[in-house]
């Protein structure tokens, strides 16, 4: 019995061991190494590294370029999450009331999400090209040269790609709602808009919070598409925080600054998601 149990434990270790080693080497070790580097003045151009405490965080927060990048990121996040929620909910609500061609239409709408980020960036770069792009109006609209149009272009691109993601989550939530409250409201003479505002949306609150939080976490990590489309330009108009971190770490070789900014972003995301979930749970009580 003891020998059989020992063999079972050994088999379990052999099965779990490779996955644990992979997580340790690829996730845990880089995470703690980056955390340690954020408290130093590590630069790949300098052989000397010393512990500086929170000085790296203070320098990052006081950097004008970092503040501009943070403002651009905040504008981008608010715009894409709001637009994707509005369009996604409108599509989901329409599809929930459709009876025909539902599966086929849903599959077609999910195609942008399945495309790789680099291919999406290249396609939109071609469409917005001022010389031959189909959306450039014969060169009259300089999407990628004007700072205001450049930020608008990355918002439109992200909304095009990720609205289906929001649509899918909200559609699943709408299809899972109980029908009794809606039928009771119809019997009481409530209009379609009244049912939507006072019955459907309150019941969808938790699903909406989950969809917004997931989309927020994915949107703040946006890098590939924007890097291919604009590389942060023109004049840093589309310089998202992920592009700033990449430039600090791989161009300026300032590992300490890149690590500190990464953890500042992580703390901000955790704070926002925790606030949203706590508020939702408090309202539910």
Q: Residues 246, 249, 251, CA angle at the centre, nearest 5°? A: 80
Mean of pLDDT over the chain: 87
| pLDDT tens string 74-101 | 999 999 999 999 999 999 998 887 766 6
| pLDDT tens string 90-141 | 999 988 877 666 677 778 888 899 999 999 999 999 999 888 888 877 677 8
pLDDT of res. 19: 84
Tokens of 99: 């009876």
pLDDT tier at 2 (50, 70, 90 boundaries)?
A: low
Whether the per-residue pLDDT at 43 is higher than 70: the answer is yes
What domains can you pick out in the chain, each with its CATH number?
A: 61-284 (1.10.3720.10)
For residues 7 and 192, give the distance between their C-alpha atoms in angstroms, rounded to a whole number: 64
Q: What is the pTM of this model?
A: 0.89
Tokens of 102: 């539902």
């Amino acid at each position: 019995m003891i020998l059989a149990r020992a063999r079972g434990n050994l088999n379990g270790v052999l099965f779990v061991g490779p996955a644990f080693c992979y997580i340790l080497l690829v996730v845990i070790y880089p995470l703690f190494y980056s955390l340690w580097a954020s408290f130093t003045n590590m630069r790949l151009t300098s052989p000397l590294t010393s512990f500086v405490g929170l000085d790296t965080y203070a320098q990052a927060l006081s950097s004008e370029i970092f503040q501009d990048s943070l403002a651009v990121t905040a504008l981008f996040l608010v715009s894409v999450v709001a637009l994707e929620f509005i369009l996604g909910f409108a599509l989901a609500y329409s599809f929930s009331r459709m009876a025909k061609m539902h599966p086929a239409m849903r599959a077609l709408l999910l195609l942008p999400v399945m495309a790789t980020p680099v291919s999406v960036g290249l396609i939109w770069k071609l469409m917005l090209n001022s010389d031959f792009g189909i959306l450039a109006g014969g060169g009259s609209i300089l999407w990628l040269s004007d700072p205001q149009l450049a930020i608008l272009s990355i918002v439109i691109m992200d909304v095009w790609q990720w609205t289906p993601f929001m649509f899918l989550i909200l559609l699943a939530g709408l299809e899972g709602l109980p029908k009794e409250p809606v039928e009771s409201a119809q019997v009481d003479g409530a209009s379609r808009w009244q049912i939507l505002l006072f019955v459907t949306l309150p019941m969808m609150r938790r699903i909406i919070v989950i969809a917004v939080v997931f989309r927020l976490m994915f949107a703040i990590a946006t890098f590939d598409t924007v890097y291919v489309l604009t590389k942060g330009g023109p004049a840093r108009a589309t310089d998202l925080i992920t592009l700033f971190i990449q430039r600090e770490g791989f161009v300026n070789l300032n590992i300490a600054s890149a690590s500190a900014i990464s953890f500042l972003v992580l703390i901000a995301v955790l704070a926002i998601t925790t606030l949203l979930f706590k508020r939702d749970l408090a309202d539910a009580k």
